[in-house]
Structure 1
Amino acid sequence: MWQQLSKWLLTALSFLLLDVLAYAPLSDDTLVNRLPRPDTADFDILQTGNLLAPILIPRVPGTPGSKQVLQHFVDFFNQSLPDWTVSFQNSTFKTPTHGEQEVPFINLIATRDPPGSQPGNVGHLTLVAHYDSKYQPEGFIGATDSAAPCAMLMHAVRSIDAALTNKWNFMSAQGDLDPDFEELKGIQVLFLDGEEAFHSWSSTDSIYGARSLAEEWEHTMHPATSIYKNYLDSIDLFVLLDLLGSPEDLSIPSWQHTSHWSYVKMAEAEERLRKQGLFKSNPDRVWLPDKNKKETDVFNSYIMQDDHLPFMARGVHVLHLIPSRFPSVWHTMRDDGEHLDIAVVEDWALLTTAFAAEYMELEGYFEQQPSKRVKRNDDAISKTEL
């Protein structure tokens, strides 16, 4: 009994240390030659078989459009990422516009963990976007809000999946993947429903799916001997993308003090990708300007209302990627596919891929990519605001 307890304590201590130290930047060779780059067809707003276009429809919770987009996600994981586990979390709420009718909300959770691991011993990089669209105005699409972020996450996890397999196969062959003792790090995608308010934003008319999931996971316990006590505790970092893909020059501040280190890492990845000329959009922009923000500076953690709030309130570390100034198309009928800058969308997809690859420590596990000319800013073909 004492031997087992000692092993558990040593494992817990190793997790605490590795949680701080575990982050491996990609080499220049991997960034340039091995990291999968976005395929423009995936983000073509008219190609219904690819990532983005099927999401560019009205998708109010409980409507056929919502079910159609949810099926698109399910098909994506089943066909492109069969090693991932897909599950759903369901809830119903009354809204200010539906009277006594209960509106259904469905969150999709897609997870990939190291082989042979137990869920309570795996910490997750959790990538998040909401997939619902506003109730009004009727026919609202919400391309930046948040169809494009959903597609960015789809690209990112598909791009690192083979490298994850290579890493875990190599570790298993070397005897380095011990589910009972080694550091275990998995990855999750949350597509959350019901972020948008039905009437006007309030604590009860907004983030319906996020509120339900955070509460449920707080009370869904792992076995007593697990490293993580509950499902919520298993989230190492909650990375939320929202309002991305606009042609406008919109910067994102570092919102949270406790996770500023992750903002710095993503800012460094942005800087390196720009230096290597791998972005298609305006090379003079900087999306993440707060890399050198000091610990003593002000972090406006609770000013920006979004899906992260019920998670952050329960102690989850959050990297919130949302601009401080919203796109001019925000909550208007112009927030559609035609008003996206596809070069910006693809660049955010690439940056998210790089960050996820570094977080999951995948350096050395990517295969050589086919040679592909990168369209620089001077010859890029992209849609801009009409």
Structure 2
Amino acid sequence: MYLLRLALASLANRRFTALLTIFAIALSVCLLLSVERIRTETRASFASTISGTDLIVGARSGSINLLLYSVFRIGNATNNIRWDSYRQIAEHPRVAWAVPISLGDSHRGYRVLGTTTGYFEHYRYARQTPLALLEGRRFSDDPFEVVLGAEVAAALGYGLGEEIVLAHGVASVSLVQHDDKPFRVVGILQRTGTPVDRTLHISLEGMEALHIDWQSGMPARGNARISAEQARQMDLQPRQITAILLGLDSRIATFALQREINQYRGEPLLAILPGVALQELWGLMGTAEKSLFIVSLFVVLVGLVGMLTAILTSLNERRREMAILRSVGARPWHIASLLLAEAFCIALAGILLGLSLLYLGIALAQGPLQSLYGIYLPLALPSLYEWQLLGGILLAALSIGGIPAWRAYRQSLADGLSIRL
């Protein structure tokens, strides 16, 4: 214990250098744990985004692309699906439920999803958790009603009864607004921690009404424009959709129906299993994850090398101090233990400060991360793996601290007392 007190007193005497070294280790520890925490929570957030959906059907492209635009609202479809193809798939005897979705429009950077009320009944996330309304109700027969995700309502300050104008395309700033057909907010969903929070939900009829007077990708001009009231009186049967979410009556039929849809002759379609596509996505991202982790480890190593440099630099200046300790009865292993204790104290203080910086960063970034990227970082205690990482850092610090300890052990009493000119 006296060696520990002596080590703390020695560090206090060199407080400026010690504090800089502790801060460098703290930053490296904070970076390492941040990368690990974000990696873990991102994987958990992605995995909990969709549950209970057996197949996702879209135009033939790639499985990851289909998963990204249909579930995570990232990217765009290569093509649409004809409505009669949807009806034929939905009426398949093995299909228990089918939910069509249509994408393409946005509102102030948030994606608009056209669907049916079946979406609210069958969509599940985080282990079969259904969607629930925080306020209001689902959209009904009026095509110009919208149900907001929790993040949309919170970020834009919308409430029930407000009118909003949707924009064509998915850019945050659009030059083409559907200002002649405003939508009224009738419901706000409870927060889910998934892309649902950042989505505006309208009916397929509402999506069709927005574009009923469009020609060749542009809105009609002059008298050719169709008002919202006129659109309500028209047949708003969709002609195309973007993707289909399918639930089957038996999991055994999943692969058979997937093969049947992939060989569909009416048009080129692709059916994917969400879980398998997620594994493919993480397989692609695995290299980036490992690279970030390795870079973080090297940052920690740089911090520990900084500690080694600080101790070695001070060692030559403390030769007389060591000699005095030897002269009053301290043995060589006492001197070595003193330097190991200093390395331990510096590393432990750096780890504790790093944890404090981590939790401070999580508290500050928790809201923006969830609103912008849908990643929820809880203020939880370190996991077993994170404790193992911290223990490894502490052992590495002791190992590196052994270098100056060995040098001090080898110094002789005469070397310390002699004066070098």
User: TM range, normalised to the smaller chain?
Assistant: under 0.3
Superposition TM-score, scaled by structure 1 size: 0.21
Structure with higher helix content = 2
